[in-house]
């Protein structure tokens, strides 16, 4: 049975590769952002069902500080988002599979900077499901 | 007076059918789909004839129903079980199953063990003689897996020394399988 922490770890395993790390100045972390002034990727998951097919809705958020002009760094956010979506959509692994639920949306954070949110559908089929 | 409830499924097992109510080796049915297991007890139709001016029935006629049925949905397609359910030629070296045109009626015994929902007691339902037909359910989408939809027509068995046919057994046991002696209060 997968829990929400497993979901986050599974999603990070899909994107924690040199090509993505080379695109960001910060880090790829679970739940909490590693910095406040770098380009970071944060994966979170607030829960997962316990059925024969477990379902979860994790999120991948790309944070980028605004440009010196005060505008959002749309070019960087777009580049990282496009690279991540390729790695996250229709990914079938041994114990789980992931699809991109929504191609994403730009959201302004409380501090005025912007992040790009990509919601996912996560599924895992339990082998020994008991609650029948 | 002890009371018992029947619900949930701990496991379902199968074996070759027995018309004498004896099965020694059971094999597990893998990954049962939630909400698919249902025993249907068909009830016969009664019709009555009354006298022309009477209120009481003069004669009751009873038309027996079709036999009872059991349905089960399975989410895994284990080749060993598929060979029991379908007429197939299985090649383990390539994990290939070739399905013959003929429809197979599998003759299986089925044993359902429920979960101990109340007072640590569960039920074991054993149906010794089933004619089983299998189809498929569920579309092939990223959101569902194909299901083996089993329909068992429950037949009868007669134990050695018995003079009447029986259909199935239902025994209540403790959660660990210990037999309950209901003569002891």
CA distances B24 to B60, B85, B102, B127, B176, Å, are: 43, 20, 30, 13, 19
Cα-to-chain-centroid distance, residue A65: 18
∠ at Cα B41 (B37, B44), nearest 5°?
155
The answer to whether residue B155 sits within a structural domain is yes
The answer to whether residue A132 sits within a structural domain is no
Structural domain span for residue A85: 4-125
By the CB < 8 Å criterion, does A52 face chain B?
A: yes
The answer to whether residue B138 sits within a structural domain is yes
Query: What is this structure's pTM?
Result: 0.83
Q: Do B34 and A97 touch (CB under 8 A)?
A: no
Name the token pair of A49: 């069902």
The answer to whether residue B57 sits within a structural domain is no
Give how many domains chain B has, as a whole number: 1
A82 Cα to chain B: minimum distance (Å): 23
By the CB < 8 Å criterion, does A132 face chain B?
A: yes
The answer to whether residue A60 sits within a structural domain is yes
Give how many domains chain A has, as a whole number: 1
**Nearest residue, CB atoms, A52 vs list B8, B75, B143:** B75
The answer to whether residue A26 sits within a structural domain is yes
d(CA B132, CA A14): 44
The answer to whether residue A131 sits within a structural domain is no
Tens digit of each residue's pLDDT (9 = 90 or more) over A26-38 = 999 999 998 778 9
Complex ipTM > 0.85: no
Residue B1 has pLDDT above 60, yes or no: no
Q: Do B34 and A127 touch (CB under 8 A)?
A: no
Structural domain span for residue B30: 11-41+67-174
Tens digit of each residue's pLDDT (9 = 90 or more) over A8-65 = 999 999 999 999 999 999 999 999 998 778 999 999 999 999 999 999 999 999 999 9
> pLDDT grade, residue B185 (50/70/90)?
low
Chain B CB contacts of A131 below 8 Å: 8, 34
Which CATH number covers residue A36? 3.30.2000.10
The answer to whether residue A100 sits within a structural domain is yes
Gyration radius (Cα) of chain A, Å: 16
d(CA A22, CA A116): 18
The answer to whether residue B50 sits within a structural domain is no
The answer to whether residue B47 sits within a structural domain is no
């Amino acid at each position: 049975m997968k829990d929400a922490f497993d979901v986050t770890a599974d999603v990070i395993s899909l994107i924690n590769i040199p090509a993505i790390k080379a695109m960001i100045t910060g880090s790829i972390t679970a739940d909490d952002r590693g910095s406040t002034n770098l380009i970071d990727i944060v994966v979170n998951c607030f829960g997962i069902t316990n059925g024969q097919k477990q379902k979860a809705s994790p999120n991948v958020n790309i944070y980028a500080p605004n440009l010196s002009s005060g505008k959002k760094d749309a070019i960087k956010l777009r580049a990282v988002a496009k690279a991540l979506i390729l790695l996250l959509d229709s990914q079938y692994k041994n114990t789980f599979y992931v699809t991109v639920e929504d191609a994403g949306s730009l959201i302004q954070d409380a501090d005025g900077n912007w992040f790009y949110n990509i919601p996912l559908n996560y599924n895992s089929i339990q082998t020994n499901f008991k609650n029948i | 007076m002890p009371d018992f409830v029947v619900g949930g499924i701990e496991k379902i097992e199968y074996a070759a059918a027995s018309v004498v109510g004896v099965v020694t080796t059971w094999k597990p049915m893998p990954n049962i789909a939630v909400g698919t297991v249902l025993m249907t007890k068909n009830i016969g139709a009664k019709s009555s004839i009354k006298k022309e001016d009477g209120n009481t029935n003069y004669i009751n006629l009873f038309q027996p129903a079709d036999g009872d049925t059991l349905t089960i949905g399975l989410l895994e397609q284990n080749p060993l079980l598929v060979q029991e359910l379908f007429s197939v030629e299985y090649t383990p070296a390539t994990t290939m199953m070739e399905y013959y045109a003929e429809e197979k009626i599998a003759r299986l015994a089925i044993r359902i063990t429920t979960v101990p929902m109340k007072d640590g007691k569960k039920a074991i339902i054993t149906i010794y003689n089933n004619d089983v037909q299998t189809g498929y359910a569920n579309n092939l989408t990223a959101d569902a897996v194909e299901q083996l939809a089993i329909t068992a027509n429950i037949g009868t068995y007669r134990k050695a020394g018995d003079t009447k046919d029986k259909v199935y057994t239902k025994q209540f046991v403790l959660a660990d399988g210990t037999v309950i002696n209901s003569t002891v209060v």
